Structure 1
Amino acid sequence: MKPRDIMKEKSSLWIFGYGSLVWKPGFAYKRSSIGHIKGYKRRFWHGDDFYRGDKAKPGRVVTLVEDEEACTWGVAYEVTDSQIEESLQYLKMREVVFGGYITQMVEFIPKDKGQAPLLALVYIATSNNPIYLGPASDKEIAAQITVCRGNTGHNIEYLVRLAEFMRLSCPEVEDEHLFSIEAAALNIFSDCGGITPPEQKPILLGAT
């Protein structure tokens, strides 16, 4: 179902974020809820040649890959009334035009046991996308992330902020893929004595 069809049928819509949306949704919303979806795993397999990279050095950002045994934690945002169209227009530019993502409706399970599961809209980049990079080892992904930056900042910031969200909001969840890449990236920084991207102040790792 397309976002506009959803908008016509509902006065309220939930949008699930599992990447940069967890710390920077960029749209107005009524309320938010931390939780997870089942049947998908989060992977740094999608390329980014605009926000966290460029044409010469595309960055690595997360997408969702189907896996019946997996679940992915993130944040769902409820948008209502005029917020629905405004948020979808914003995300069309942020995720679809520049990011290459498609939309799906998924079941979101809130961390708060008092809140019932609900349907949420999620944006997913597939292997059909021309800037999709696909699998690589954690060390290879980390090495790529440490040297890339785009219009919204360095790729390492994206990685660290996502890892921080998981530690602070879902401390009981062990996201092996995410934390392994973070550890490999921080080792690269440590071995190099810290990296300062060109024409940018030193990155403050751990900033929120």
Structure 2
Amino acid sequence: MKPQDLIAGKTSLWIFGYGSLVWKPDFKYRRSQVGYIEGYKRRFWHGDNFHRGSDDMPGRVVTLIEDHDATTWGVAFEVTGSQVEESLNYLNVREAVRGGYVSKLVDFISEDDQVHQALLYIATPDNPLFLGPASPEEIGYQIATSQGKTGHNLEYLLRLAEFMRRSCPHVDDPHLFSIEAAALALVPYLLGSN
């Protein structure tokens, strides 16, 4: 479903970010809150042949996979008035057109236990860029060796890990941190090969 259809008539909207939006929203917003959504786990299972990779060497970025026992931490941004349409127009290009994401409304729970309905974008397995699971070493190698028009894929990984350590230090994210360790272990070898 299109985001505009989900939020028709609303003058205020929360948008949940769990990947690059946590450090680079690039749209105006009224306020932001750190928190989580339930029923999804964050995974580096989506390919990126534009922002963080190319057609020849796609990068890997995160998407959400349904899992009833999981929670995903991130940041929700409240947009109001003209910001609603402006942010959706921007995100439609950034996420939906280039990234092949679908949108959903979910409950976002802030650190202080406020609950807001929030819009999020998810890449689905029927997307041609959906890469699916792989070992931390395989994903780490792909990330360490890919870059796109927005920058190196490794920057995306490291900034997401930094956000989790800084803003959610009480949350363990073994998928993220095992890929970070695998990618960083490769850096000396990759630098030595140049």
What TM-score bracket applies, with the shorter chain setting the length?
over 0.9
Q: What residue in structure 1 maps to residue 186 of structure 2?
A: 188
Over 3 Å counting, the alpha-carbon distance change for 1:195 and 1:165 in structure 2 is: farther
Give runs of aligned pairs for residues 73-112 of structure 1, distance below 5 A.
Answer: 73-112=73-112
Structure 2 residues not aligned, in runs of 5+ = none
Aligned equivalent of 2:141, options 140, 143, 147: 143
What is the SS of the residue equivalent to 2:75?
strand
Q: Is the CA contact (8 Å cut-off) linking 2:6 and 2:104 kept in structure 1?
A: no
Structure 1 residues not aligned, in runs of 5+ = 198-208
Give, as a single letter, the amino acid of the residue that structure 2 aligns with 1:104.
Answer: K
Q: Determine what percentage of the aligned residue pairs are the same residue.
A: 62
Residue by residue over 1:43-85, the C-alpha shift from the partner in whole angstroms, topping out at 9 and shown as x without a partner, is: 0000000000000000000000000110000000000010000
Give runs of aligned pairs for residues 1-208 of structure 1, distance below 5 A.
Answer: 2-113=2-113, 116-190=114-188, 192=189, 194=191
**CA distance in 2: counterparts of 1:193 and 1:154, whole angstroms:** 13
User: Post-superposition shift, 1:193?
Assistant: 6.7
User: Post-superposition shift, 1:26?
Assistant: 0.8
**CA distance in 1: counterparts of 2:192 and 2:36, whole angstroms:** 34
TM-score by length of 1: 0.90
Give, as a single letter, the amino acid of the residue that structure 2 aligns with 1:185.
Answer: A
**CA distance in 2: counterparts of 1:79 and 1:67, whole angstroms:** 28
User: Post-superposition shift, 1:196?
Assistant: 8.9
Structure 1 runs of 4+ off > 6 angstroms?
none
What is the SS of the residue equivalent to 2:5?
helix
**CA distance in 2: counterparts of 1:157 and 1:74, whole angstroms:** 17
What is the SS of the residue equivalent to 2:119?
strand
**CA distance in 2: counterparts of 1:29 and 1:142, whole angstroms:** 33
**CA distance in 1: counterparts of 2:192 and 2:105, whole angstroms:** 40
**CA distance in 1: counterparts of 2:109 and 2:56, whole angstroms:** 39
User: Post-superposition shift, 1:10?
Assistant: 1.0
What is the SS of the residue equivalent to 1:77?
strand
Give, as a single letter, the amino acid of the residue that structure 2 aligns with 1:74.
Answer: G
User: Post-superposition shift, 1:33?
Assistant: 0.3
Give, as a single letter, the amino acid of the residue that structure 1 aligns with 2:128.
Answer: P
Give the length in aligned residue pairs: 194
TM-score by length of 2: 0.96
Q: Is the CA contact (8 Å cut-off) linking 1:105 and 1:119 kept in structure 2?
A: yes
